[in-house]
Chains A and B, each alone.
Chain A
Amino acid sequence: MDDIDSRSTQTGDDKRREKVFDDVIKLLSENMEISPTEITSDLDLNTDLPFDSLQLYEMVIDLEEAYDIRISDEDLDSVKSIDDIVDLIVRLT
């Protein structure tokens, strides 16, 4: 019984993470005019994407509004890749 419960929670979490990931990709591709297919989860925000701090904050503000959350600068310090952003949003929502 426990196993089934934990499996179903896992699936729910996975789906939630997937949805956040899709939202992040959509925002990124719109803001930076890149094709969504070119963005993968392991991309480094500083080295792999032509991303400056203004664009980072544009995305942060859009994500804050979309998810009704607050992303502090301290939180952003640990964000290096797309995966990190997705994890952060999942944690804050």
Chain B
Amino acid sequence: MENQEQIMSDSLVRIFENVVLTEEKSLQAGYFSDLSIAEMHTLTAIGPYQSRTMTKTAEDLGITTGTLTVAIDRLVKKGYVIRQRDTKDKRVVRISLTRNGKLACRMNSKFHRVLAKRILEGYNEEDREHLIKLVEEIDAYVEEQLHKYDNTSNIRETATEVARTSKKENSSNG
């Protein structure tokens, strides 16, 4: 059991790191070498279709609007994003992708799809369905853990819970 936990833990961390690293290297080697991974993720959050507000985009990325403003300034300069005032409410700033921004966004989504395709290709239909089900469960569980940190009071609750669980485990092991 302990060995299984170690393998699972190591693999999860490695998968995350290697996907990001591969994505970064493919970006550097490709047409959009002037974009960082964080910038590519900002483009993906804006999406290739309708314009979006700064507030909603920052919320989706889990960053402040101040941080997003700095990132958008750079992306506007690089020619990937257009910033415009809302036609109905002039106080609202809307952002959308330029043609180049749309291209980068779609190429990046292709990168992820090809990666998934190659992984799934190695399995038969039954195993594929099983694998997808398990991965979805892991995804949902990790997402649930993330939401525990949505506000600071929850961080404290989670920390207390972790402390309580570890204490219980330690006392049962000892």
List of A residues within 8 angstroms of B48 by Cβ = 61
Contact B103 A58 (CB under 8 A): yes
- Say if the beta carbon of A60 comes within 8 Å of chain B: yes
List of B residues within 8 angstroms of A57 by Cβ = 103, 106-107, 110
> Cα distance A57–B102 when bound, in Å?
9
Contact A54 B49 (CB under 8 A): no
Distance (whole angstroms) from the CB of A3 to the closest CB of chain B: 42
List of B residues within 8 angstroms of A61 by Cβ = 48, 99, 102-103, 106
- Say if the beta carbon of B22 comes within 8 Å of chain A: no
Which one of B49, B99, B102, B110 lies within 8 Å of A53 (CB-CB)? B110
Contact B107 A53 (CB under 8 A): yes
Distance (whole angstroms) from the CB of A13 to the closest CB of chain B: 28
Distance (whole angstroms) from the CB of B42 to the closest CB of chain A: 19
Given A54-B31, A73-B113, check contact A60 B106 (CB 8 Å).
Answer: yes
Distance (whole angstroms) from the CB of A49 to the closest CB of chain B: 18
Beta-carbon contacts of B78-117 to A below 8 Å, as 1s and 0s?
Answer: 0000000000000000000001001100110110010000
Instruction: Please count how many residues in chain B sit with their CB below 8 Å of the partner chain's CB atoms.
Output: 11
- Say if the beta carbon of A70 comes within 8 Å of chain B: yes
Most chain-A Cβ atoms within 10 A of its Cβ — which of B103, B106, B107, B110? B106
List of A residues within 8 angstroms of B102 by Cβ = 61
Distance (whole angstroms) from the CB of A70 to the closest CB of chain B: 7
> Cα distance A14–B123 when bound, in Å?
42
Contact B49 A70 (CB under 8 A): yes
Distance (whole angstroms) from the CB of A58 to the closest CB of chain B: 6
Beta-carbon contacts of A27-64 to B below 8 Å, as 1s and 0s?
Answer: 00000000000000000000000000110011011000
Contact A54 B109 (CB under 8 A): no
Contact B109 A73 (CB under 8 A): yes
Nearest 5 A/B pairs, CB to CB? A57-B106, A61-B102, A57-B103, A73-B113, A54-B31
In addition to A57-B103, A57-B106, 8 A-B residue pairs with Cβ atoms within 8 Å of each other are A53-B110, A54-B31, A57-B110, A58-B103, A61-B99, A61-B102, A73-B109, A73-B113
Q: Which residues of B contact A (CB under 8 A)?
A: 31, 48-49, 99, 102-103, 106-107, 109-110, 113
14 A-B pairs within 8 Å (CB atoms) are namely A53-B110, A54-B31, A54-B103, A57-B103, A57-B106, A57-B110, A58-B103, A60-B106, A61-B99, A61-B103, A61-B106, A70-B49, A73-B106, A73-B109
